[in-house]
Amino acid sequence: MAAGRVRSGGRPTLEEVAARAGVGRGTASRVINGSPRVSEHTREAVEAAVAELGYVPNRAARALAANRTDAIALVVPEPETRFFAEPYFSDIVRGVGAALADTEMQLLLTLVGSDRERKRLAQYLTAHRVDGVLLVSVHADDPLPDLLEQLGMPAVMSGRRSASETLAAVDSDNFEGARSAVDHLISRGRRTIATITGRLDVYGAQRRVDGYRKAVAAAGLGPVEQLIVPGDFTEEGGARAMRELLARRPDVDAVFAASDVMAAGARQVLREAGRRIPDDVALVGFDDSAVARHMDPALTSVRQPIEEMGRAMTRLLLQEIAGENEERPQIVLPTELIVRDSS
C-alpha cells in the first residue's frame, strides 16, 4: 500500500496518519494527544494528515493506554429522598454538567444512603473505575474522603469537613451568609431571633451557627441557647424544630433557618400557630432556591452560587486528573442576601 493511502473499506489508522505527515508513529501520537513536545511545523503536518484522512482516535484505546477511564463520579452520601427533595443537589449537578459539556468525560451519579451502598462504592473506587470523584454533602465522620486519599484518587469536595480540610474543596461563605441574614433581621427591629440549624456534623452548618452567634453577640442580644434548635435540612426537620422553638420561646419574633426547605417547614408551623409572617415572626432561609421564590410570602434567603460551585469543583478535578494541581485549593465563594417579603 502506498504511503498516505487509506485501506479500502477500513478506518484510517495512526500509522497512515504518520506516513501521510512524514513522521514516526510516536510523534503523530504525541500531536493527537496534545503533547507540547513537538515543533509547530510537525504539529501542522500531523493535523493536516488527520483532516485529509478523516482519522478519528480510538478513545477507548487511548484511555486504556493512559490508564484512564474518561469518567468521573459525583458521589452524594445521602438517601434518595433527600437528594430529590433538596434543590441544592440538582443545582450542583447542573453546574457539574455545564463544566463537562465541552469535554469527553462521562459523569456517573452515585447516591450512597446506606452501609451496603457505601461498601459497594468503596469496591468500585478501589478498582479505579473512574478517574476522579466529586463529593457532595460530606459529613464529618464519613470515611469516603480518607479512602480516596489512600487510593490516591483525584477528588474535590463541595464543602469542607473542617477548617483543616486536606482535600481540594469548594464552599460558599456560610459564616458571612448567616451573619448577613441575622444583621438584616436586627436592622428590621427584631430582638428575639432564633435559628434552626442544619445537621451539625456538616461543617457548613456549623459555620452558619457561628455566623448567627456572631451577629447576635455584636448586637448585644444574648443569651441564645434556647433560641438555637437543631434541624436536619429537611422540611419535616424544620417543622419539628419550629414546634420545639415555639414551646421554648413563644416570644420569638424572627427565625433564621439554615436552608430554604427547613424554612418552608417552619412557615407551615407558624401559620398553624396563628403567627403572621413577617408581622409577628420574620423568616429568613439559606440557598435562595426555587422554594424561596415560590413561598407565600416570598422568602428572604441567602443566595449561595450553587451552580458555580459545581462548575468550580469540576474544573479543579479536571486539573487534578491532568496533574496540574500539586496543591489542593480551598475555594470559598461569596454569598448574597436576597430580601423578599418574609422579613
Q: What is the C-alpha to C-alpha distance for residues 119 and 86, in angstroms, rounded to an integer?
A: 25
Q: Which residues pair with 303 in a beta bridge?
A: 287, 336
**Does residue 127 or residue 239 have the better pLDDT?**
239
pLDDT at 8: 42
Residues 290-332 pLDDT 10s: 999 999 999 999 999 999 999 999 999 998 888 776 678 899 9
pLDDT band at 58 (very low <50, low <70, confident <90, very high): low
pLDDT at 59 over 70: no
What is the average pLDDT value for the chain, to the nearest integer? 88
What is the full DSSP assignment across 119-170? HHHHHHHHTT-SSEEEEES--TT-SHHHHHHHHT--EEEES-SSTT--SEEE
What one-character DSSP code corresponds to residue 298?
Answer: P
Give the predicted TM-score (pTM) of the model: 0.76
Residues 170-228 pLDDT 10s: 999 999 999 999 999 999 999 999 999 999 989 999 999 999 999 999 999 979 999 99
Q: What is the C-alpha to C-alpha distance for residues 92 and 307, in angstroms, rounded to an integer?
A: 5
Average pLDDT score over residue span 33-38: 68
pLDDT at 64: 46
Residues 128-169 pLDDT 10s: 889 999 999 888 788 888 888 888 889 999 988 888 888 899
pLDDT at 165: 85
* 244-283 b/e (C-beta count within 10 Å ≥ 16 → b): ebbeeeeebbbbbbbbbbbbbbbbebbeeeebebbeebbb
pLDDT at 33 over 70: no
Cell numbers that stand for 338 in this block:
436576597
Cell numbers that stand for 77 in this block:
452520601
Reduced to 3 states, what is the DSSP secondary structure of residue 257?
strand
Cell numbers that stand for 113 in this block:
444512603
User: For the chain, how many residues are written?
Assistant: 343
Cβ-based neighbour number of residue 322 at 10 Å: 11
Reduced to 3 states, what is the DSSP secondary structure of residue 177?
helix
Cβ-based neighbour number of residue 8 at 10 Å: 6
pLDDT at 29: 74
Residue with cell 473499506: 9
Q: What is the C-alpha to C-alpha distance for residues 3 and 20, in angstroms, rounded to an integer?
A: 6
Reduced to 3 states, what is the DSSP secondary structure of residue 208?
helix
pLDDT at 66: 53
- What is the DSSP pairing of strand 168-172 with strand 228-230? unpaired
Q: Quick one: CA torsion of 256, 238, 200, 154, rounded to 10 degrees? A: -100
